[in-house]
Structure 1
């Protein structure tokens, strides 16, 4: 019997970026440990999706510990990496550590920057995008400056995100666990924010999975708000089914 052929990267790409909070507050209540466990669990699900392993490229940005860095999503290099995106099939997230302030705005800006750079690189190679790039912000806090003082600079970032969405260039989600402020989340992502009542990063990653599955069916003519509405409906149904199975399974 011959060995199975390796997964070949498709001729088109989906750019996936996780922007995760690793500030000092994530040390409380085992939050950083739960986030690490959720990412490891999500890895198994992600690698089981043949479509995403063929078209997907993933970047992992942390903000807080070590300020804002592009973490190697393949877990091979330490510190900041020069090439943030790796094929989904190589996703093997390293253990994240918590500490420092909450430079949320800078992290989202950096996510937009690396996404734009990667899009240009792919275009230069003649490789189209299979879907709009997707960015998820995951946080338990509010934006601060590098000294830890609260910052309202997110208000300046919101119009840029709306412009990207209106041009069908991007899908952006903001997910908050206890400690995050609804005003900030809804300001950054009016129709695609989720404020969870419990510290549950497994649920956060289920939401990421649902939004990825919804994106597979998006047409070029669909508005971002239509995609967000579909994602919210899918997530509600998924959670209802999960709860039912837990009670009756």
Structure 2
């Protein structure tokens, strides 16, 4: 039996993306072009949005409008629109990434996704997903050679968690204590468990109770704060506007 093989038909362990996976190759080229066109340092911002059944009606509508305003206000700033990358994670009937990280300037090119109220309050699962998304995005920035600001994660809720939240909350607090996360909590309405919300957050960042349904005022403060952050260097800790100036917290 002849054991010799035709070199032209032998298997090569070397994969040529351009030849073997042309679609993947083109996608990678587009990513490189996108980041070459916008080399600004990035600031990932995760919004954990309580969309449980108790948020039905006016609360979910006001929250929806507030999120839309946030994109518009960040998108109106020459620097923040290229740097701030929001990520929407609603939790209620399910916990999912409704809109992933992308610069506000790109997000404004498509309609805002709709928020629907329903289900319970799986807050622990939402925190876990938010932290995982931030970690993955930070690795992506590093692979692309992009500098990054400290990530922000804001938790909105009108109730209390009905899943296991102690482990995820401890992980978030530890990350914040190391200086790797700005973690905030916003209570909505009179039914919110502010004591548990305070236990979830870092001890030096107590929760705020939203005044009525002043989501728009909150998101205006958040947008202005991120404009301040992204106007400085990634190693510079700049003072953000005080919440009292915006009339959203009780």
- The TM-score range, normalised by the shorter chain, is 0.7 to 0.9
Q: Does 1:102 align with 2:121?
A: yes
* C-alpha distance in 1 between matches for 2:113 and 2:182: 25
Structure 2 residue runs without a partner (length 5+): 1-33
Residue in structure 2 matched with residue 184 of structure 1 by the alignment: 196
CA RMSD of aligned residues (A): 2.5
Task: State the SS of the aligned residue for 2:147.
Answer: coil
Change (3 A) 1:204 1:99: same
TM superposition shift of 1:237 = 2.8
Q: How far off its partner does 1:214 sit?
A: 4.8
Using structure 1 for the length normalisation, give the TM-score. Answer: 0.74
Task: Determine helix, strand or coil for the equivalent of 1:175.
Answer: strand
**TM-score normalised by structure 2 residue count:** 0.74
Given the alignment, which residue of 76, 86, 90 partners 2:102? 86
Residues 221 and 209 (structure 1), Cα distance of their counterparts in 2 relative to 1, 3 Å cut? closer
Aligned to 1:239: 247
The residue correspondences of 1:1-249 to structure 2 (distance < 5 A) are 8-28=37-57, 30-65=58-93, 67-72=94-99, 84-91=100-107, 92-129=111-148, 131-145=149-163, 153-178=164-189, 179-189=191-201, 190-192=203-205, 193-216=207-230, 217=232, 220=235, 230-231=239-240, 234-239=242-247
Gapped runs of 5+ residues in structure 1? 1-5, 73-83, 146-152, 241-249
Aligned to 1:18, what secondary structure does the other structure show? strand
The more displaced of 207-216 and 37-46 is 207-216
CA deviation string 1:191-246 (max 9, x = no partner) = 33211242322233234224424534587475xxxx7xx54x62213439xxxxxx
Listed one character per residue, the Cα deviations across residues 60-95 of structure 1 (whole Å, up to 9, x for unaligned) are: 111013x101012xxxxxxxxxxx212211224212
Which one has the largest radius of gyration? 2
Counterparts of 2:40 and 2:218, CA distance in 1: 30
Does the Cα contact within 8 Å between 2:150 and 2:180 map onto a contact in 1? yes
Structure 1 Cα separation of the partners of residues 155 and 204 of structure 2: 14
